[in-house]
Amino acid sequence: MTAPTAQAAGRQEGRFDLAGVATIAAGHLLHDTFSSFLGPLLPLLIAKLSISLALAGSLTLFAGLPSLFQPFIGYVAERVNLRFFIILAPIFTATLMSLLGRAPNLGILILLVCLYGLSSAAFHASAPATIGHISGRRLGLGLSIFTMSGELARTIGPLIIVSAVSWWTLEGTYRLIVLGLVASALLFWRLHGTEMNLPHQDRPAVKATIIAMRPMLLPLAVLLSSRAFLLTATLTFLPTYLTSKGMPYQQAGMSSSVVELAGVVGVMLGGPLSDRWGRRIVLSVAFLVGPLALLAFLRVWGWPIYPLLVLGGFFSLSTMPVLMAVVQERYAHIRATANGVYMALAFIIGALSSVAIGSMGDWWGLTTAFIVSAAVGLAGIPFVFMLPRSGESLKH
């Protein structure tokens, strides 16, 4: 049985296509499981290749560089069958991320990360736009299910890669490539023959879309920066921070899964709550509680860190489907291209935040870098009220 086409679902405006949403969310789960390998591997890669925290953080920047092409990918995605992006991305991403441990030098490591970024950009530019189109009036719910699958993947991913290192050593993690092959084969079986292109109509070019989005770019950039600093601190550098404080590697690596598991609940509730209460209210609460939880985490040790990681993960990650819903709601007539612009901005800001936090970690220590991250998170609150209210859209 194949999922209904996005085009067919679009003919029933307002209908929530659960089967279609579930299929694309499954693809997101499979793809992002492999995407989450980098953070837990950073302490080992830093030791193996003798690289600084700033260089380690720059790996996320290199992974984000291909995201500059996401608006163009989104533009193409509005004119072609989207299933090819969804089917092929897991095998490409799995292969590249499973080979990180065998990189003999920094240059090869950067090449692998850049190629992974291209695979990820192709998937993330098109899949959320399709979700938005087939979610009808329940946009927040559809994007929460999609985002939740990605966060669940980032809960599973660290467990898989840490276990693989324990079983096969860092260089032996290439064996995980077979999981990517199985993932893409399953998606091919599920989506083969399914048309998933968005309804065709005349749409503005990428440049015109960016111009149309200009009023929202400043608040979006600030809020994405607030979110990126919080997430980079609590995900990318969390294992490195905890190992520097004396926690065993396996336990530190598993801590990322604690944050992500809390984030799964956060993203699942964030979208539907914003449908009910409004995007601004949900975002304001999240950008207040998330940074405060991070500050409290820095002042404790032992078992109390875990409830604070849960609290921080829940609220920091709950913002993801809400911000995406704001963009797709506002620019419903150019959904894929606008989503591509949003995703490009999100990936690049996320990558730059990794370099910034890594550099601060080298200069002043990761504790100071985490305090700055919390301050940036709190600074986003005023910009929430520059976003359009829920339900406001631009008609073509």
d(CA 200, CA 84): 18
Domain assignment of residue 375, yes or no: yes
pLDDT at residue 211, rounded to an integer: 75
pLDDT at residue 324, rounded to an integer: 85
pLDDT at residue 78, rounded to an integer: 59
Distance of CA 367 to the CA centre of its chain: 24
d(CA 182, CA 117): 21
377 in Cβ contact with 287 (< 8 Å): yes
Find the CATH number of the domain harbouring 262. Answer: 1.20.1250.20
pLDDT at residue 66, rounded to an integer: 80
Low-confidence spans in the chain with pLDDT less than 50 = 1-12, 200, 394-396
pLDDT at residue 375, rounded to an integer: 96
CA-CA-CA-CA dihedral for 109, 115, 118, 123, to nearest 10: -100
pLDDT at residue 8, rounded to an integer: 43
Domain assignment of residue 396, yes or no: no
Domain assignment of residue 389, yes or no: no
Domain assignment of residue 22, yes or no: yes
Q: What is the pLDDT of residues 31-77, one digit of tens each?
A: 999 988 988 898 899 999 998 888 887 887 788 778 777 777 766 66
> Cβ atoms within 10 A of the Cβ of 375, count?
14
| Helix intervals (H) in the chain | 6-10, 18-35, 38-49, 53-64, 70-77, 83-98, 106-134, 139-168, 177-191, 206-212, 214-231, 238-244, 249-277, 279-297, 305-330, 335-364, 366-379, 381-384
- Report the domain count for the chain: 1
3-state DSSP helix/strand/coil percent for the chain, to nearest 5?
80, 0, 20
pLDDT at residue 395, rounded to an integer: 45
> Cβ atoms within 10 A of the Cβ of 104, count?
10
pTM: predicted TM-score of the whole model, two decimal places: 0.68
Domain assignment of residue 395, yes or no: no
Domain assignment of residue 135, yes or no: yes
Q: What is the pLDDT of residues 265-296, one digit of tens each?
A: 898 898 888 888 888 999 999 999 999 999 99
Domain assignment of residue 393, yes or no: no
| Range of the structural domain that residue 196 is part of | 6-384
